[in-house]
Amino acid sequence: MDNFLKTEKLYTISELNNTIRKLIRNEFPDYIWVCGEIQDLRKDKKHIYFNLVQKHPEADQIIAQVKSIIFEDSKLFIFKRLKEADSAFELKDDIEVKLLCKVDLYPKWGEYRLIVVDVDPIYTLGKVAQNRQRIIEDLRRRGLLDKNKILPLPILPLNIGLITSLGSAAYYDFINELKTSGYGFNVFIYNSYMQGKFVERDVVSALELFNNFEENLDVIVITRGGGSTADLSWFDNERIAEAIAKSRLPVISGLGHQINTTITDLVAHTSLKTPTKVAQFLIEVVRGFLEEIKYLKEEILNEVSLMIEREKKGLRSLAVGLDSAIVKYFRDHLTQLAEKRRDCLDFSQYFLASRKRELFQRWELIKTYLTNLLKRETQKLDHLREKISLLEPSNILKRGFSITLKNKKVVKDASSLTFGDTIETIFFKGRTFSRVEKIGDSDEEKD
């Protein structure tokens, strides 16, 4: 042991790490291809850092991992390559990649890492396609792929749960299109990420919230504006698809892409290309319902008119037939007319009076029936007209509500105003302009 201590070379940590670095560089003098799954990806202004992991083939368990880095010069090259791929995608957690790397060791920390200089898009796109198909087949096997599609669409979908990014172009396109219709739509908004790693969390939470909403919603709309294929890939998500399939309300998607179809589109009740198209679809459903009401009203009135005309013709025909029968009877029994004149006259008068009473009773029954029918149907139509009228914006103002504007934009929160701001208040009749003198919250009145 003493001899070993005398002959053994003493290394400093730096010497040891640099020696190991040389061994690694000797073993891997050239760039190598490495495949794995990205985890814990983060970015700063220049570089991208992540762990490249290998998982157990039959379980979601990491069995090996290595720290990886993409420096700024390689980052620009890789982003350009990914953008030019047939189906563009972005580097993010949970996707499998094939990377061209340099194996190196950072002496200061004594840990080896992969320095990434290139990526093979074809490998990742193949894995993405495989995973997408796996999700679709799993949903089909579990009976979830068409579950939302079989839900009946409400005939008057005025109450809408909207999942989108508040203030985005998609939000304004959807809301403005509904406003131009003049119908009384009520929109409840859930402000959600529409791209990035928080999409799954937000959309699933929004679907759960709207399905347990205290208001009686008619449909749920998921919509976003246009974007790249990479942005759209966040909606090829199994948890989002499951939440849509299990929704008790019909879900309509409008993800803003003219070519690609996501798994979200596949499981939704109705899939449309843009937020505007979704709004137009809902408007057409409401318009169709109102036109059907108008058509039914006209049909009822026409049917009542026909019934009255048929009864009138029947009565006229009955009267003519009765007169003909009496004339024929007298003609056939002319020889007996003298001796039976009194009896026949009495009988005829009694018969005519009886028939007239019967006809009059039938006519009164018909008039009563038609009057009640018209009254019931008119009440139904008036009730529907009142419900629809209550949803019109002007009627909301008539009940005492008002709208406050600042720079032609609706003020929803007093905190958005500042002292001295000029505001416009719209009432049912007229408008006023005011200057803000004091700003408080709703609790001040209680105090």
Do residues 277 and 310 both lie within one domain? no
Statement to judge: residues 378 and 426 lie in one domain: no
Q: Is residue 215 part of a domain?
A: yes
239, part of any domain? yes
> According to the model, what pLDDT value does residue 340 have?
66
pLDDT tens, 385-431? 777 776 677 777 877 888 899 898 888 888 888 888 899 998 888 99
Q: Are 354 and 424 contained in the same domain?
A: no
CA distances from 329 to 179, 196, 346 (A): 75, 97, 15
CATH code (residue 231): 3.40.50.261
198 versus 257: the higher-pLDDT residue is 198
Q: Does the pLDDT of residue 339 top 70, yes or no?
A: no
Q: What number of H helices and E strands is found in the chain?
A: 13, 14
pLDDT digits (tens, 9 = 90+) for 251-270: 999 987 666 788 999 999 99
For residues 23 and 93, membership in a common domain is answered with: yes
Structure tokens at 439: 């700003």
Could you tell me the two tokens for 46? 């220049």
For the question of whether the overall pTM of this predicted structure is more than 0.85, the answer is no
347 with 406, same domain: the answer is no
Domain range for 421 is 397-441
More confident residue, 118 or 122: 118
Give ∠ CA 353-359-361 in degrees, rounded to 5: 100
Residue 323 lies in a domain: yes
Domain boundary among 256, 286, 316: 286
Q: Torsions phi, psi of 190, nearest 5?
A: -110, 115
Q: How, if at all, do strands 111-119 and 62-70 pair? A: parallel
CATH code for the domain in which residue 59 is found: 2.40.50.140
Mark whether 333 and 222 lie in a shared domain.
Answer: no
Determine, yes or no, domain membership for 342.
yes
Round to whole Å and give the CA distance between 241 and 264: 6
Question: Among all chains, which residue has been given the structure tokens 């058509």?
Answer: 295
Of the candidates 311, 309, 307, 310, the one whose C-alpha atom is nearest the C-alpha of residue 373 is 307
Rounded Cα–Cα distance for residues 252 and 149 (Å): 10
In a domain, 149, yes or no: no
Question: How many structural domains comprise the chain?
Answer: 4
> Is residue 290 scored above 80 in pLDDT?
yes
Please indicate, yes or no, whether residues 381 and 413 belong to a single structural domain of this protein. Answer: no
Residues 256 and 311 in one domain: no
DSSP state of 166: T
* Between residues 325 and 253, the one the model is more confident about: 253
Residues 6+ apart with CB under 8 A from 123: 35, 96, 97, 98
Residue at 146 is within a domain: no
Question: Is residue 145 one of the residues assigned to a domain?
Answer: no
| 104, 164: one domain | no
Please tell me whether residues 71 and 172 are part of one structural domain: no
d(CA 369, CA 51): 81
> Does 265 fall in a domain?
yes
Question: Residue 317 — φ and ψ, nearest 5°?
Answer: -65, -40
**What per-residue string of b and e applies to 410-433 under the rule 16 or more CB within 10 Å gives b?**
ebeeeeeeeeeeeeeeeeeeeeee
Res 4 pLDDT > 60? no
Give the residue from 253, 286, 319 where a domain finishes. 286
The verdict on 329 and 379 lying in the same domain is yes
Tokens found for residue 233:
């890939």
- Choosing from 140, 175, 192, the residue where a domain stops is 140
Q: Based on the domain organization, do 250 and 335 belong to the same domain?
A: no
